[in-house]
Amino acid sequence: MAVSASSPRAIAPVTSITVVVIVASIVMSLSMGVRQSLGLFLSSVTSDLAIPTASFAFALALQNLVWGLSQPVLGALGDRYGARPVLVGSALVYAAGLLLTATQGRYLGLDLGAGLLVGMGVAGTGFGVLLGAVARIVPAERRSQTVGLVSAFGSVATLVIAPLGQWLISTQGWRPALLVFAALAGSMALIALLIGPKPEVPSGPAAAAPVSARAALAEAFAHPGYLAMTIAFFACGFQLMFITTHLPAYLALCGVPPTVSATALGVIGLCNAFGSYAAGLLGARFSPRKLLALIYLFRTLAIVCFLAVPASPVTTLLFAGAMGFLWLSVAPLVSSLIGRLFGVANFNMLFGMAFLSHQVGAFLGSWLGGVTFDLTGSYGYAWGAMVVIGLSAFTVQWFMDDAPRPTPRGGFGPRLAPA
């Protein structure tokens, strides 16, 4: 008898689901809100430390690369031991990285603190572990909507954190501002204690056969659709991290006031809430594959429109609104595809491997943006690269093979129960 990858599990009580969703939403919002506001520090840090733009950009690029490399490992730990210990430990590492950045110089502060430690902290308090905790406890028919709801809160805190950071930088300096950010990161450890232990895995004839991490990876990388989705995910990271890191500096070159940069990040957070939740609802009714492709296309068109007119506060906020609506809306759709193709037993790790591609793109988007600016004095080449990469991702994602593969040994796709 065939049992689907999303076959019914022991359903957690509604109260448990509610607690997990609330905790995941708060932690996600704080984690992403702090990270997305770090671009506000670029001008102050480079001026105070007398370093080129590329040095700051490299630290954030390293952060994203470490985030990507750490995500599969921390995801696998979350699959095995549950989300709580991973979240608590990662939040403390996150706070330590920001504390180091605030108190040290270029190499210890930026590369080790903002780069290595914050990258590891974001990996353990971000998408892979949190969305895995939610996907594992929620019934399959509600998974896309619920993951979309958690993703919707991923940038809500930016509405407060970005203006707060800009105000602190302007009035107190960038180092005290980072100390406040470190305190926010540390608070995630306390909040994560409420998420509860790992839920029990059901047994019996209706349960999917367990699959080792190695076998899970082998089967995932043998699926052409998973590979196509992973490759397209590169564009998401490239585009979003370039904007997070370099939009404030680009707007300053265009004569747009610094306060508009912080407001734009806040608008991104607000619109992300609506976009991510809408993506979760649509993903439950329509093809996640095609929705993902359209997100990559619409993002690229928004970039083209933004570049086609002179930068101003109005055009910046319109651009921020459009990008914000599409910002984290990929998360519920990628989660839906992974759950449909492979189930949730190894969700964290498989999401993490796909997310590694996203973070390689983020590394290049942040770092190459700084390099091209230092070499040319302009962001023109970087904007052009975002357009080309976005159109390529749309094409790859649109033609993705999203058909599950039956595996008699109980790996993925429609799973076979014992006779």
Q: Which of 140, 131, 129, 137 is nearest to 14 (CA)?
A: 137
Q: Which of 366, 327, 351 is nearest to 126 (CA)?
A: 351
Q: How far is CA 350 from CA 17, 119, 181, 376, 377, in A?
A: 22, 19, 30, 39, 40
Yes or no: say if 299 and 389 are a contact pair by the CB < 8 Å rule.
no
For residue 178, what are the domain limits? Answer: 2-416
Structurally, the chain folds into a number of domains equal to 1
pLDDT at 227: 93
Q: Which amino acid is present at 62?
A: L
Per-residue pLDDT in tens (0 to 9) along the chain, 419 residues: 333 444 444 445 555 888 888 998 899 889 988 988 888 888 888 888 888 877 888 888 888 889 888 888 888 888 788 888 999 999 999 999 999 999 887 778 888 998 999 999 999 998 778 887 887 788 777 777 787 788 777 767 877 888 899 899 989 999 999 999 999 999 999 999 988 766 554 444 334 455 677 888 888 888 999 999 999 999 998 998 888 888 888 888 888 887 888 788 778 878 888 888 888 888 888 888 999 999 999 999 999 999 999 989 999 999 999 998 998 788 889 888 888 888 777 888 888 888 889 888 888 888 888 888 888 888 889 999 999 999 999 999 999 988 876 654 444 443 433 33
Cβ partners under 8 Å of residue 127, min gap 6: 28, 71, 151, 154, 331, 351, 355
pLDDT at 10: 45
* CATH number, domain with residue 396: 1.20.1250.20
pLDDT at 156: 77
Q: What angle do CA 247, 249, 252 make, to 5 degrees?
A: 110
Q: How far is CA 47 from the centre of its chain?
A: 29
